[in-house]
Structure formats: structure tokens, C-alpha cells
Structure 1
Amino acid sequence: MAIEQQPDGRWKVDVEPIKGKRFRKTFKTKAEAQRFESTCRAKCIESPTWSPKPKDRRRLSELCIRYYDLHGHTLADGPALLRTLQKLAKDLGDPVGSGFTGNAFCETRRALLESGIHGKTLNNRLGYLKAVFNELHRLGDIDYPNPLAKVRPLRLQERPLSFLSSTQVQEVLEALDARHTSPALGLIARVCLSTGARWGEAQALTPERVRNGMVTFANTKSRRTRSIPVSKTLEKALLIHFKRHGLFTNCMLTFSRVLDTTQIKLPRGQATHVLRHTFASHFVMKGGNILTLQKILGHTSLAMTMRYAHLSPDHLQDALTLNPLFDTSSTPADSENQKAPKSI
């Protein structure tokens, strides 16, 4: 017997291409069964040791761990990424990877969105999961294509970046300096405001990375080292702190608590990061070059830095004089104070 239909309608293959080499498998259609039989006979003739590869039954959680073992552990936020992926696999019902579909992801995404999870978070998770399938396929660990290849991220309303005014900067620094039990708070905040560093980058500074009027960030998100000039006053304050108190400790949560005691209200998720936005925004508003800002912030893509371009004093100023309502016969003074027409 090579191919035989079963009582349940499926087709069973029982083939022995060479003596002692027997294969059995059941398929939904006769055509699939015939292809399998032909493949077995042809492959065994080419290589007597050949055996059909068993179907990949690994679940999504197993694939996430495999991704971490092969690649994720090399990433700066590898352990945190693995926790996120495992939580996502649980939310998706931990399906078998080879049977996972884009539709299944979209259905779960809708439920999570309606439960209050922000769209940006869900877009991030989609990107993480796509990376898992892409990397495992690239390494040959899975032989099926990325099931999420055609799933598009959610289109989100762009929100303006929040930043502090000069008055608010002083209010924050005074509140931080008043926290005498945490002398590092104000100092780390000043590093962020002076260099555009992320809180974690500033918090990880060591005495060896503060010298010659520069601070060097080596634990960056992009894994690229960058050195930024700072004032002599800030350099001296950092070195004195390291000598008296040692290295900075993790105080990000304390910063958020102090910020809550001020009158400053920020969008959710922009606590310490508002300091980085504040540096970048003031840099551009004072006429700083956008390409220089990209290097200071350590952005790998200029598109990230361009979020601050609209704050430039001359950004899109041609819209004022090149629009169809602009009166070319008016004086320069009139042009600057052009009044809107009464009717259009």
C-alpha cells in the first residue's frame, strides 16, 4: 500500500522507497499525499540516509526563547525584550509558530487596544515579533515565512513633544536640589539638560568618562560611544560627587516622584525623557543645526531628529511670504504685520 484513503476522508501514505526505509504520513488531500510519496522516493534515491523533516511544532514562547538564545542576548535591552515577548506570547494564546497568522495577531491587537493599551506600545510589540520570525528565518531555524510580514502597524495621531520652559527647568532643579537624601538627582538632571542624554546614560557615568571638559556616554541605546562637551562647573560637580559619594545609583523613580510634587504636568511616559526633549527643543529654538543635534543625541536616523525641526526660528518661514494671499506691494513692516483679509 502506498496511498490509501481513510474512513475520515484523509489520505494515508505508507511508502518504502528502499528496503528498511519506511515513511508513513497522513494528509488532507490526495494530491498532497502523492507529492509526499514522490518526494520520498526521489530523495531516497539521491541520498539513502534522507528523512523528511518533522513539522515544526514549537510554540511562540519557545520561538521567543530561541530568538533570545541566538540573537536577542546581544541586544542592549535583551532581557527586558525577552520578558516583553513572553508576555506577548501569553496574550496571543501561545500558538504553534508554524500555524500562527497575521489575522490572529490583529484580533488580539484589537482586544488589547480596547483594553486601554496604547497604540504605540502595540506597534512596538509588532516590530519585536516581526524581528523574531525574520531573524529565525534568516538563521535557518524556521523554514516558513514570517506570518506577520504583511501586518501593518497602526496609524497613530502624532503628538507634539513636551519640553520644559526655562522657568519650568528652574522649578524642577530647585525641587530636585531640595531632596537632600538624593544628592545625585539634580546632578543627573543637569547632565541630561546639558547634553541631551537619556537618564540611564547619565546615571551610568563614571569618573573615567568625565574629563577634559567632556562627558562620554558608552552605554547608549545604539551602542555607539559619544562624547559631549560640558561646562567646567558641571564637570567639577560630577567629579566631586564621585569622590564623596561614589557612582550614581538608580534614582529614576525618585525623579518621577519629585516631578509629581511640582506644578508641571506631562503626558504619560515622559518623566525623565522630558529632559532630553527639553535640551533638543531649546537647542533648535536657539538656532542650532539639526545635523549637529543628531550627533549630540546619538540618533542613527535623521528622521528621529527632524521631530524638533519645527521649533527652528526659520522653519518653513517661506510659507509666510510665498502664499497666494501675500501682498507683494506692501512694505516690509506691513508684510510682517500682514492682516488677514475680511473675506476670501
Structure 2
Amino acid sequence: MSIVKQEDGRWFADVEPVKGKRFRRRFKTKAEAVRFEAMVRERLAQNPDWNLKPKDKRRLSKLVARWALLHGHALADGENRRKLLVQLVADLGDPVAIIFSAHHYTEYRAQQLAGGANGKTLNNRPGYLRAVFNELLQQGEIDYPNPLIRVKPLKLQERELTYLNDEQITTLFETIRTRCKTPHVHMVALICLATGSRWSEAQGLVPQRVRNGAVTFVNTKSKRARSIPISAELEQQLNAHFTAHGLFSNCLNSFDKTLKASGLVLPAGQSSHVLRHTFASHFIMNGGNILTLQKILGHTSLAMTMRYAHLSPDHLQDAVRLGPVTGVEIAMAASA
């Protein structure tokens, strides 16, 4: 065993308590080197098989690559998630993962907000990176706590979900009929409006999944297949469309252009998803059950579906029936 001072002023400890087990490390002071030597001898005396684990020097980019190999590839959006994480890590400066901390992200978030970044996007990003640490910790790839476990999301103003009324629906489909040259757009949009499906789910339908008065969606966001009833007329239209035009092509861009040509104004970030919101909104306004809607939309959490609850005809009607204003109005009317 030796503890020697090196030219750079640091102390180098070279400990070999038993033949074949050697531990080396550099320290700023001699006292730290001496304590290290004592710790090694004590641990080895208590457990002859003990071995000092080297410090994890991997950077965040290496952890993301490891996560993608072990887990990310199995996600429906795994490749897109990996690309997003790679960009996020680059924006953060790709620090050594073990010294990455919550304030590293919150400082980055503050800079991004000052530059006009979207708050919802900034709330999603730490969740993706947090999931990387959680998965690698669970699989034993890292042995230190998740540095983002206490990062709280930004409090954002909830956006009202936009849906189309009957007149706007007519305008949209009339524009599709007269302006759109892609034959699949009309049918895919009709499926979304009739079932509340996402555009990608409707676009992925094949003839084998249209039968017995229902359509079956696979490769969904939740990775769960679900079957939604449709009318006999829509089933006939679908089968006739497949016979005449074949399988659906990727026609989202054509829909976006047609939507713009229709003159309908939607909030930023909403396009084909307005069809899903329209189905859900009309379903609830017409007296549909919120739990049934959850199953139709394929939401894993009821909280997501509850965004439409305020559209129910009797939603919070007790606020009118039981509130104090009604009593005041009655008293004033009686005294008049």
C-alpha cells in the first residue's frame, strides 16, 4: 500500500490489502487518501468478496442510448421519444449523469421560457427524462436517485378544447368534397368523426377490421386494441371505398391543407384532432356517459376524459339549484 503526493498536488492512494485485490484513487488531501485506505481494509475484512464499484462517469447521452436499447424500442413512439431525448440532452449540454441535478433542468427551463418556448412542451420534457432514470434504476443500470423526482411542472392555464358545431362540420366536409383531390381524406375524416379515433388509428384500418357493425383499431397510443360500433351505412361506405381505392394512404397533409382552405379557425396545434374532440363533445352534450366515452376514446386515465364533462347537459346544475342567488331572486320577486 502506498499514498504518494503527485506533481499536480493531488494524493494518490494505491491499496492492495490482499493479493489480487487492488484499489486506486486520487484525492485532494492526504487525509482523504488515508481514510480511503482504512475504509477499503475494513470493508474487505467484513466481506472478503467486497469490491469497490468504480464511479459512474457516463453522460446523459449514454443513458438515453442505454434506455433506448433496453426499453425505448418497445414503446409505440419509441423512436420519436429517443430523438426528442437526444435533442434535450444536447440542449442541456450533455452533463455527466451522476452529477446532473434538478436545478440543471429548472435553469434550462427558465431560459427556454424567456425565449418564448411552449410551457406544455417544457412540462413534458422532464417527464421523458425522468422516465429514463426510473427505468434504468429499476433495471439496475444506475444506483443513484432520480435527480428529477422533485421537479414540479409549471402551472399553466388550461386551454378550452375546440370542437366543431353542425354548421362547421358541414363546411369542412363540403370543402373536402370539392377541394381535396386525395380520395382517402373524406373517409378517414368520417371515421374519426364517427368513432372519436385518432387520425393515425383511422388511417391504419384495413378491410379485415371492418365487420359485424364495428371497426377495430390496433397500434393505438395505449397499445390496446379497441372495437367501436359504427352504423350499417358507414360500414357499407368503408367496404365500397376499400374496393374502389384500396388501403388508406398517409393523407394527413392533404387534410391539413383542406382544413386551411375551409376557412375554419382552430387554436395552434389542433388539426385532425379537432375531429376527435368534436365526437367527444357532441357525445357528452347529447347525454352520453363519461365512462363509456373513456372506453370509446381509449383513455387509460379517466382524468383525460373528464375534460369533456363540463359539456354535459346537467353538469354542475346544482350550482344553480342550490346556490344562494336563487333564494335572493325569489325573495325580491315576492316583495315586489
- TM-score calculated relative to the size of structure 1: 0.90
Deviations 1:194-233 (A, max 9, x none): 1000000000001010001100011110011111111112
Distance in structure 1 (CA, Å) of the matches to 2:313 and 2:63: 50
Q: How does 1:223-302 map to 2 (within 5 A)?
A: 223-302=223-302
| 8 Å Cα contact 2:180/2:254 also seen in 1 | no
Bigger share in helix = 2
Distance in structure 2 (CA, Å) of the matches to 1:269 and 1:35: 59
Aligned to 2:216, what secondary structure does the other structure show?
strand
With over 3 angstroms needed to count, the CA separation of the structure-2 counterparts of 1:13 and 1:288, relative to structure 1, is same
With over 3 angstroms needed to count, the CA separation of the structure-2 counterparts of 1:259 and 1:329, relative to structure 1, is closer
How far residue 39 of structure 1 moved from its aligned partner, in angstroms, is 3.8
How far residue 150 of structure 1 moved from its aligned partner, in angstroms, is 1.1
Deviations 1:164-208 (A, max 9, x none): 111111111111122452111011111001100000000000101
Further displaced range: 318-327 or 49-58: 49-58
- Equivalent pairs: percent with the same residue? 58
Distance in structure 1 (CA, Å) of the matches to 2:298 and 2:108: 35
Distance in structure 1 (CA, Å) of the matches to 2:192 and 2:224: 17
Partner residue in 2 for 1:199: 199
How far residue 51 of structure 1 moved from its aligned partner, in angstroms, is 3.7
How far residue 247 of structure 1 moved from its aligned partner, in angstroms, is 1.1
Further displaced range: 312-321 or 14-23: 14-23
Distance in structure 2 (CA, Å) of the matches to 1:309 and 1:273: 18
Distance in structure 2 (CA, Å) of the matches to 1:148 and 1:31: 34
Partner residue in 1 for 2:15: 15
Deviations 1:280-309 (A, max 9, x none): 000001111101101100111111100000
Deviations 1:71-114 (A, max 9, x none): 11111100110000001011111111111111111111112222
Distance in structure 2 (CA, Å) of the matches to 1:292 and 1:20: 67
| 8 Å Cα contact 1:64/1:82 also seen in 2 | yes
Deviations 1:19-78 (A, max 9, x none): 343322023466654553234224444666654222111111111111011111111100
| 8 Å Cα contact 2:61/2:86 also seen in 1 | yes
Distance in structure 1 (CA, Å) of the matches to 2:297 and 2:307: 12
Further displaced range: 69-78 or 108-117: 108-117
Which 5+ residue runs of structure 1 have no aligned equivalent? 339-344
Partner residue in 2 for 1:341: none
How far residue 239 of structure 1 moved from its aligned partner, in angstroms, is 1.1
Distance in structure 2 (CA, Å) of the matches to 1:292 and 1:106: 39
- TM-score calculated relative to the size of structure 2: 0.92
With over 3 angstroms needed to count, the CA separation of the structure-2 counterparts of 1:311 and 1:28, relative to structure 1, is farther
Distance in structure 1 (CA, Å) of the matches to 2:180 and 2:120: 37
Partner residue in 2 for 1:55: 55
Further displaced range: 15-24 or 276-285: 15-24
The aligned amino acid for 1:72 is: G
Higher relative contact order (CA 8 A, sep 6+): 2
- Is 1:144 the counterpart of 2:150? The answer is no
Partner residue in 1 for 2:104: 104
Deviations 1:221-277 (A, max 9, x none): 001111111111211111112122221111112111111112211111110111100
Q: How does 1:72-221 map to 2 (within 5 A)?
A: 72-221=72-221
With over 3 angstroms needed to count, the CA separation of the structure-2 counterparts of 1:31 and 1:78, relative to structure 1, is farther
Distance in structure 1 (CA, Å) of the matches to 2:31 and 2:284: 66
Distance in structure 1 (CA, Å) of the matches to 2:186 and 2:286: 24
Number of residue pairs matched? 333
Distance in structure 1 (CA, Å) of the matches to 2:31 and 2:276: 61
The aligned amino acid for 1:54 is: P
| 8 Å Cα contact 2:180/2:258 also seen in 1 | no
Q: How does 1:326-337 map to 2 (within 5 A)?
A: 326-327=326-327, 330=330
Distance in structure 1 (CA, Å) of the matches to 2:30 and 2:171: 76
Distance in structure 2 (CA, Å) of the matches to 1:257 and 1:32: 68
Partner residue in 2 for 1:320: 320
With over 3 angstroms needed to count, the CA separation of the structure-2 counterparts of 1:266 and 1:35, relative to structure 1, is farther
Distance in structure 1 (CA, Å) of the matches to 2:289 and 2:33: 66
Distance in structure 2 (CA, Å) of the matches to 1:35 and 1:292: 65
The aligned amino acid for 2:262 is: T
Further displaced range: 4-13 or 132-141: 4-13
With over 3 angstroms needed to count, the CA separation of the structure-2 counterparts of 1:253 and 1:36, relative to structure 1, is farther
| 8 Å Cα contact 1:177/1:185 also seen in 2 | no
